[in-house]
Amino acid sequence: AQQNERHTHTTPQQTHRANMGKGGSGTVVYIKSEAQFNDIVAKGGAVVIDFTATWCGPCQRIAPFFEELSTKYPSVTFVKVDVDEMDTISAKCGVRCMPTFMVYKDGSLSDQKLEGASPDALEAL
């Protein structure tokens, strides 16, 4: 009797999920608590935040580019905040539309902010 070989294939989504939670190493961290957000910001360095929502079309379209930037700039921590799940964080940061991108530098919110899904403007942040 011939045994069936099981071929394993890892999808990009599985790979992405496996890398979640790692910051500054070319991956995007998904914020799941206010404490996690505060810890990441407090550790210093540059942190780029993508305030997003699952129902936001422009957010979904720019998401792959945000992922690319996290690989291109591994010394920067890239995080996503779902405004519906983490409404206290988005309210504290004054987010009014999605996507909104903000930058923290050494624990302080900078004046660098982008509202909208412009890849060129996002990379310029």
Catalytic residue among 28, 31, 47, 59: 59
Contacts with 48 (C-beta within 8 Å, 6 or more apart), sequence order: 69, 76, 77, 78, 79, 101, 102, 103, 125
Which residues share a beta bridge with 51? 81, 100
Q: Is residue 97 annotated as a catalytic residue, yes or no?
A: no
CA 90 remoteness from chain centre:
14
Catalytic residue among 28, 29, 40, 56: 56
C-alpha dist (Å) from residue 41 to 3, 4, 21, 32: 52, 49, 14, 14
**Phi, psi values for residue 60, rounded to 5°:** -70, -35
Please list the active-site residues: 56, 59
